[in-house]
Amino acid sequence: MSAGTNTPVIGVLALQGDVREHLIALASADAVARPVRRPEELAEIDALVIPGGESTTMSKLAVLFGMLEPLRERVRAGMPVYGTCAGMIMLADKLLDGREDQETLGGIDMIVRRNAFGRQNESFEAQVDFAGIEGGPVEGVFIRAPWVESVGGAAEVLATYDGHTVAVRQGNVLATSFHPELTGDDRVHAYFVDMVRAGL
């Protein structure tokens, strides 16, 4: 699947959300990036980014496009995945304030609260210290952002803001409450690309 020596092919789930920004950030971090909408496209990638957007809509579209079970299978099989905002919600094993019919992929032993930081008009930016990323804090863009209420023993907290967990990693799966793809700083994407590259 890799395009060249140690160059990972990373898909961005293109059902809904800020797909283009992730494609640009991944390319800046020396990955081959492509949109993914169908199971056959999912089969051709080394790793996947699940972008921000509206988590309920995203889960419904995943069902509609026949992607939900193939996504779950790849996550269970160990494919590296990075979810931002709604993507974090999709990767949670359990949700608070989710809709009854809302589906998740699982992948991280964490309980996530949807829209925990408030509504759209309460969006904000903040400096976030991120374990494992050099060069000082990363800029976090929080838009109707979730936070992590609690994590299980296998999950590692990488960043907190205002006392709340906003970045978590469990094995090959990474999730952030915030949107690094909107800042022009590709260090979080580079961190994920390095995770992927280590497994190739």
Active site residue 164: no
The whole-number pLDDT of residue 119 equals 80
Active site residue 156: no
Cα atoms in the 13 Å half-sphere on the side-chain side of 193 = 23
Find the catalytic residue in 21, 22, 103, 179: 179
The whole-number pLDDT of residue 167 equals 98
The whole-number pLDDT of residue 98 equals 67
Alpha-helical runs (H) found in the chain: 19-28, 39-42, 55-64, 68-76, 86-91, 187-198
Find the catalytic residue in 21, 22, 103, 181: 181
pLDDT tens for the 200 residues of the chain, in order: 544 457 999 999 999 988 999 999 999 999 999 999 999 999 999 999 999 988 888 888 999 999 999 999 999 999 999 999 999 999 999 998 767 667 889 999 999 998 898 887 789 999 999 999 999 999 999 999 999 999 999 999 999 999 999 999 999 999 999 999 999 999 999 999 999 999 88
Token pair belonging to 132: 């494992």
Active site residue 179: yes
Find the catalytic residue in 22, 85, 103, 189: 85
